[in-house]
Chains A and B, each alone.
Chain A
């Protein structure tokens, strides 16, 4: 093919009837002088393609009711009574336009579907309840799950709260601190209370330890020891 890309585009435009004025005249002169150009235009205007294309487009336009949209809208504005506004293809009908709903205070938006006019608000009203129901159910399930989780955790903490405060008993070990500053470590098996440092200047300090062995004799879950730090108070204080 010897025709340039630009020339082909111009030929296609001519075949579609889109060219006017000097461009159209120029392309028509080309057709008179160029056989190849004539063949291209002829093929584009051929019966097979042209007829099919024209028929298809006409059918779609008619089915869409596009020709009757403006009339339907105007009829709706004019009053609640539907007015038929058939287009060239007769796609719109009085029954179709009659499906337009009118709100209490405002005209609803219109939608064209399958040649029928319908209210957008009505369409939304039909769809939204399902969506709302699903969203609401999801939120409720999440809320319940969170509540259950909190309650379970609360129950666990509740058990901890009622752990024995000090259920160990044993002969206490009296550790008299000769100095006001005493440092000692009393690690207990399985935990227990460990004294790291005591500082009570100019006061007598005693540490009473409840041994682990004795603690095991009582039903304390942790089996840990405990301590009492005794600090001598000032004479006459309170």
Chain B
């Protein structure tokens, strides 16, 4: 019987660019898939997971965009479409912006792909199997008039997706990213973002894959001096939704604002991980993770703030708020601090609980019936997050949240 790995090996060519892929695949094989005995995977329903459930699909035609997403494209400066990780279409252009399909597995910063993901089987597999690394380069001091919208469609049974964004000194870019499709699929995106001196990247990712998908995503942001990253990650789709979002502060004055939002229903599992690694001083991270679980859904948030020796006057804050919408829903929150410097400001707060009975009563005492009061409050809980999203995506997320809430049992 041919295993997934045999098929993957067969698929790789023999040319020079395949050499690196082959090496990543070999590493993947030696690292092996994680189990729930691994601390960082202990909350994942890995007992239901096997690579053999998935196949490496054949190329299929680009599909029509859903209407709601198509309607948001008018604001875009450039629209990029990928299909099963393959760059299919680029519409529009901007001086100083280059978009290309490049080989996967390249080094990012001073660290090779194989080193960075040495113990991360899924990212290694993604680097080995992604058709290309979709690469966006923004030149020095280039400021775009509108966002770049990327629509990733996952049509095949297993989809490996690599995205790299590099904003040169003084450049400024906003990216809106959609993840669609994913019926019964394994979808493994790896994103690497390099924000150079005094440059700015705003990235909003809206994952709405089918609820049968396994989505295992990882992003890494490297921030130079005075670089600014504002990242929003919205996870509403997938059966298992894992999003690991890391930031490395390599230059003083760098800042990272990260907002993650999820709404779990049915038997979804949302697994958010963050690592803010302050390697130098006067850097700032602000992290807000907020989500709700209904039905029998589960969520876990694991956040690590690391402040290295010498990274004085760093300001790092993380907040994790979890709303339980049913008695069967469950949320875990695991904030971690690793601080090796004295002169820093570091704060973390987390909470898990149902809607506040007194707040419900307050709305009822205005004449709002209980169900409606709860709906308003849950919608309000998400409003606080969608308020920080770029406008075109905020309306879609609000609608999606409202549709899901209408279906969940309380």
Chains A and B come from one and the same complex: no
